[in-house]
Structure 1
Amino acid sequence: MAIRSIVESDLSGKPDAATQTFGLGDTWYEIDLTPEEQKKLEEALKPYLKVGRKAEKTTPAKKRVVPETTPEERDEIRAWGKKNGYEFAGRGRIPKMIMKAFDEAHGIDRSK
């Protein structure tokens, strides 16, 4: 048994439409249009496309927040954490919760 999908135009309800995607501002839209309706959309946009430019994909750079510490400071933080009952691995990244607790206990502000 074969299943046939028919995409209808969102504007006219006519069959044989295809999904078109376009963006305006920060919002992307999808609409199902017949070939004739797609041509009308392209004609309507032609003056803007002619003078416009393609936008580059912009992905916000992830801000990596890693406190600058020396190996000696990290050893001190680890020792302080274990002494104060925190459980964490002896190697690798020191959990943020422990860094924050250490900084608060010692009046350290690393936000600068």
Structure 2
Amino acid sequence: MNFENCWNDQGEAVAKRVIIESDLSGDPDAETISFGWDGKRYAVDLTEEERVEFARALKPYLDVAEEINSGQGVIPVQSPGPDPAKVRRWAAENAIEIDGKTISEKGRVPRPFVEAYEKTMSESAEA
């Protein structure tokens, strides 16, 4: 669970609770895990139980693998953008389809849905 600083209408700082949901189960209180495979970097939101299962599956391979320090530092795992719940609600209420697919109820919000949401919100703000 994360907390972000927000401001109310009076300009006072208030806390906003951000709940990360598992990309697998949709359960709350997940954390983002990043890993590399076959030259690519990945990030997935997992609950503690899912993280333990993931680590258990990788353990035999990690025990014999050589760790490589790329020197590139940590990759960002969450980009700034609109609230995923708002994007999902907007897409569902407006029956938005992209490439013949509707938005899923769990997991990461695909970038094309975020872009369509942002475009619609900026157009409605300009109107």
Output the TM-score relative to the length of structure 2.
0.44
Larger fraction in strand: 2
**Which of structures 1 and 2 has the bigger CA Rg?**
1
Bigger relative CO (Cα 8 Å, ≥ 6 apart): 2
Output the TM-score relative to the length of structure 1.
0.49
